[in-house]
Amino acid sequence: MKSLTLSNLCEALGRPNPLRREILLSGVSIDSRTIQPGDCFFAIAGDRFDGHDFLEEAQRKQAACVVVQKEPSAKLSIPVIRVDDTVDSLGQLAAWYRRRLSGIVIAVTGSAGKTTTRHILHHVLSRRFRCCQAPKSFNNQIGVPLTLLAARQDDEIVLVEIGSNHPGEIAPLSRMAGPDIALITHIAPAHLEGMGSVEAIIQEKASILEGLTPAGKAYINGDIPELVGYLRQHYPHNLIPVGEGADCLVRPEQMHTCGTSGWIQLEGRVVRVPMPGQASLRNTLMAWAVCRDLGVNLSDFAEAVQNASPPEMRLQVEHLGPITLLVDCYNASPASMENAVDCLARIARLQGRRSVFIAGDMMELGTESGRLHRQLGRFAARHEVAVILAAGQFAHALLEGAQETDNNCAGGRLRLAFGTVEALCNNLHLYIRPDDIILIKASRSVRLERVVGRLRELFGKEQTTL
SS (H, E, C) the chain: CCCEEHHHHHHHHCCCCCCCCCCEECEEECCHHHCCCCEEEECCECCCCEHHHHHHHHHHCCCCEEEECCCCCCCCCCCEEECCCHHHHHHHHHHHHHCCCCCEEEEEECCCCHHHHHHHHHHHHCCCCCEEECCCCCCCCCHHHHHHHHCCCCCCEEEEECCCCCCCCHHHHHHHHCCCEEEECCCCCCCHHHHCCHHHHHHHHHHHHHHCCCCCEEEEECCCHHHHHHHHHHCCCCEEEECCCCCCCECCCEEEECCCCEEEEECCEEEEECCCCHHHHHHHHHHHHHHHHCCCCHHHHHHHHCCCCCCCCCCEEEEECCEEEEEECCCCCHHHHHHHHHHHHHHHHHHCCCEEEEECCCCCCHHHHHHHHHHHHHHHHHCCCCEEEEECCCHHHHHHHHHHHHCCCCCCCEEEEECCHHHHHHHHHHHCCCCCEEEEECCHHHCCHHHHHHHHHHHCCCEEEC
* Confidence label for 260 from pLDDT (cuts 50, 70 and 90): confident
Q: Among 14-18, 87-91, 121-125, 329-333, where is mean pLDDT lowest?
A: 329-333
Q: Calculate the average pLDDT of the chain.
A: 92
Residue 410 pLDDT more than 60? no
Residue 3 pLDDT more than 80? no
Residue 236 pLDDT more than 90? no
What pLDDT does 381 receive? Answer: 94
Residue 462 pLDDT more than 60? no
What pLDDT does 135 receive? Answer: 74
* Confidence label for 191 from pLDDT (cuts 50, 70 and 90): low
Residue 83 pLDDT more than 90? yes
What pLDDT does 327 receive? Answer: 93
The fraction of the chain above a pLDDT of 90, given in percent, is 76
Please compute the mean of the pLDDT values over residues 120-126 and round it to a whole number. Answer: 97
* Confidence label for 461 from pLDDT (cuts 50, 70 and 90): low
What pLDDT does 232 receive? Answer: 95
Residue 463 pLDDT more than 60? no
* Confidence label for 409 from pLDDT (cuts 50, 70 and 90): low
Please compute the mean of the pLDDT values over residues 243-262 and round it to a whole number. Answer: 92
Please compute the mean of the pLDDT values over residues 211-234 and round it to a whole number. Answer: 95
What pLDDT does 123 receive? Answer: 96
Q: Among 79-93, 107-121, 322-336, where is mean pLDDT lowest?
A: 322-336
Residue 407 pLDDT more than 80? no
Please compute the mean of the pLDDT values over residues 284-288 and round it to a whole number. Answer: 98
What pLDDT does 161 receive? Answer: 95
Residue 269 pLDDT more than 80? yes
What pLDDT does 112 receive? Answer: 87
Give 414-423 pLDDT, tens digit per residue: 999 999 999 9
* Confidence label for 315 from pLDDT (cuts 50, 70 and 90): confident
The fraction of the chain above a pLDDT of 70, given in percent, is 96
What pLDDT does 186 receive? Answer: 92
Please compute the mean of the pLDDT values over residues 375-404 and round it to a whole number. Answer: 95
* Confidence label for 408 from pLDDT (cuts 50, 70 and 90): low
Q: What is the pTM of this model?
A: 0.86
